[in-house]
Structure 1
Amino acid sequence: MASMSGKRLVIFGCGYVGSALARAAVAAGATVEALTRNPEKAAALRAAGLAKVVEADLAAPGWHPQIEGGADWVVNTVSSGGPDQYWQSYVVGMQSILSWAGRAGQQPVGTLVYTSSTSVYPQGEGAVVDETQWAHGATPNGRTISESEVLLKNAPETAVRRRYILRLAGIYGPGRHHLLDQLRAGATTLTGTGGHHLNLIHRDDIVAAILACLHAPATVGSEIFNVADLAPSRREEVVAWLCAQLGRPEPVFDGTTTARRGGAPMPDRIISSAKIQQELGWRPQFPDYRAGFRVLLDAAGRP
């Protein structure tokens, strides 16, 4: 990984992805500061060698004086905090960051990376979805995340010089693998159907995508990138492969609507990450679900 020595990185909403990024950046020599509302995560981040960890609600302005402005790099990896917290976490949280970044008398942020979601895309029916597609959400939650993207896109250069929006596919990785947990526990029935494609991305590949943005040459301006692995596969295929690895019989799908947050049916589509590969040279370490889950299975021990 490229050296980050002499650079100052601030990570907001420093949870599952942000913590992995923080550890990688500290190892690369960056001065890393973070904000989280979770005391346990704050303690773990301090133990990882971060220069400063602030425990606060991102959406409230009370933390603004505690973190100096003008950082070389800022990354917003906030999560919702619950089904009723989308607006507060994503929209009000982004407003808070931009207000902090644009305070009078300080330098603007050099580069800001925001980990958004492919839930902003309403497309289905097997469509291949790239960054040129309409992206205002099919659910209330998707529309909320889309609105937070608009805030960043429209931020003045007095607050942020360069900004990247990363629309992440379904996140999995160490400690985060719900489907694998269900099958390992011996589930005989899964809700929904198996015919739609799962668009997945491993946590470590997200970190690599963020770092690619932070290190992007000056010739690459503000952009939106999809971040997904290279081989979206149907849910039934993923389940069958995992069951074979676990030595368990395949469960049946109960045929109910597989709903995502916000209540809409799970869409069948293929998220394309060709743009970030072409423009930043990013390539996933785990190009498909087999590569990613095989490491998780080996780490946990085969049954």
Structure 2
Amino acid sequence: MIKSRKLPESVIIFGCGYLGTALAKHLLNQGVKVGALTRNAEKAADLRKMGAKLKTAYDQAAIEVIEGDLDSNDWHERVEGRYESVVNCVSSAGGGLAGYQKSYVDGQRSILEWAKSQSIRSYVYTSSTSVYPQDDGLLIDESADTSGAPATGQLLVESEVMLAKSDILPKWYVLRLAGIYGEGRHFLLNQIREAKGEIPGSGDYAMNMIHLEDIISAICAALYGEAASDVYNITDDAPTIKADVSAYLAEAMELPKPVFNPEKVSERLKRRGGRMPHRYISNKKAREAFEWSPKFPSFREGYASLLNL
């Protein structure tokens, strides 16, 4: 939950996947003028339809949709509106490290080049807690060393540093997001439903999670521009281990308690290097600086909402 404060009158969102689309809808509902850049033509059409419906319903906000590749500068001249704030919540373009370079590093560079000709009040960038390589089971905060991050994490850090070193922005915020779940994003739920009693991998590593709605509230808290420019972890109040989350979900769905098989590695985990780091991530800095707290303080409240418990 956040205090009642004033959002910018206009926000442009770069990257309109799961998070960006939900954020656009929320801002439109708040009467904010929204710009949205996406490389996906189908997503662009959906955004235009959503904007048209909301404008009819509220007669307040419109949405400007731009199609293009973020890492290219071709889209710069096609942005017709003037925007107070930027949210860069792009996801990987696929293709391994090359996709990360294209989306996060080259994309960040392109936005900052465009911003030189704008009057941007605040810039919010959603990075990831995957930049933390720690594996000792301790609680860590934003001061934790990221030099040992995997190659994908190093590219994220590079894009963060690029933003922090920019001298054209009054305020900037790097939000390192924990594992995202929410409406329409049910990977663990589906894994348990389909597991037939067995889940690949280990259940004793840390899970740091954040509900989609709480990410949106944190982004809005940053958009007020009252906190100091800095890096902030966005995660819930109660990091846990995968075995506990899985046991809770299995019981809630009246399924057998899953058994983990460390000898097997899921395809999803293979793409992440074969294992997950074991560390618990603190959200204290964001809670204090933004006067923000998650609506869903732990996975229990979040999944109870999704399962209508």
**TM-score (norm. length: structure 1):** 0.91
- Which residues of 2 match residues 123-134 of structure 1 at below 5 A? 123-134=134-145
Output the CA distance in 2 between the equivalents of 1:161 and 1:2. 19
C-alpha contact (below 8 Å) 2:207/2:240 kept by paired residues: yes
Query: Alpha carbons of 1:83 and 1:107: their partners in 2 closer, same or farther (altered >3 Å)?
Result: closer
Out of 254, 264, 273, the position equivalent to 2:283 is 273
Distance 2:225 2:122 in 1: 10
5+ residue gaps in structure 1?
none
2:301 to 291, 295, 299: 291
- Which residue of 2 is the match for residue 181 of structure 1? 190
Determine whether 1:193 maps to 2:205: no
1:145 match: secondary structure: helix
**Which residue identity does 2:66 align to in structure 1?**
V
Aligned equivalents of 2:271, 2:287: Cα separation in 1 = 29
- Structure 2 CA distance, aligned partners of 1:240 and 1:233? 12
SS of residue in 2 equivalent to 1:112: strand
**Alignment partner for residue 231 of structure 1, among 238, 248, 269?**
238
Correspondences of 1:39-58 after superposition (within 5 Å): 39-49=41-51, 50-58=62-70
CA–CA distance in 1 between the matches of 2:270 and 2:34? 34
Judging changes above 3 Å, is the alpha-carbon distance between structure 1 residues 144 and 230 closer, same or farther for their aligned structure 2 residues?
same
Query: Which secondary structure state, in structure 2, belongs to the residue aligned with residue 43 of structure 1?
Result: helix
* 2:157 partner amino acid: S
Equivalent runs, 1:83-94 vs 2, <5 Å? 83-84=95-96, 85-94=99-108
Note the 1:126-145 alignment, pairs <5 A: 126-145=137-156
Q: CA RMSD in A?
A: 1.8
**Percent identity of equivalent pairs:** 44
Residues 112 and 164 in structure 1, CA contact (< 8 A), matched pair in contact too:
yes
Superposition deviation, residue 257 in structure 1: 7.3
- 1:59-84 Cα distance to aligned partner (Å, 9 max, x none): 11110101157521100000002242
Distance of 1:63 and 1:17 partners within structure 2: 21
Q: Which amino acid aligns with 1:64?
A: H
Query: Kindly tell me: are residues 144 and 262 of structure 1, through their superposed partners in 2, closer, same or farther at Cα, counting changes over 3 Å?
Result: farther
Aligned to 1:97: 111
Q: Is the 8 A contact 1:130 1:273 kept in 2?
A: yes
What is the CA distance between 1:289 and its match in structure 2? 0.5
Q: For the residues of structure 1 that align with 2:218 and 2:148, how far apart are their CA atoms?
A: 23
2:166 maps to amino acid: A
SS of residue paired to 1:35: strand
Mapped contact 1:136–1:142 kept (Cα < 8 A): no
For the Cα contact (< 8 Å) 1:22–1:32, is it kept in 2?
yes
Q: How many correspondences in the alignment?
A: 291
- Equivalent AA in structure 1 for residue 101 of structure 2: W
The whole-number CA distance in structure 1 between the counterparts of 2:149 and 2:271 is 11
Instruction: For 2:184 and 2:245, locate their aligned partners in 1 and report how far apart those are by CA, in whole Å.
Output: 18
Compute the displacement of 1:216 (Å).
3.3
Q: Amino acid of the residue matched to residue 232 of structure 2?
A: F
Q: Secondary structure at the match of 1:236?
A: helix
Bigger CA drift: 110-119 or 37-46?
Answer: 37-46
Q: Does 1:212 align with 2:214?
A: no
**CA deviation digits over 1:239-284, x for unaligned, max 9?**
1110001111122211137646441621111100000111111100
Q: Find the residue that maps to 2:201 and give its secondary structure.
A: coil
Distance apart, 1:225 and its partner CA: 0.5
Q: 2: CA distance between counterparts of 1:231 and 1:146? A: 25
Of 156, 160, 165, the match for 1:149: 160
Question: What's the counterpart of residue 243 of structure 1?
Answer: 250
Paired residue type of 2:192: L
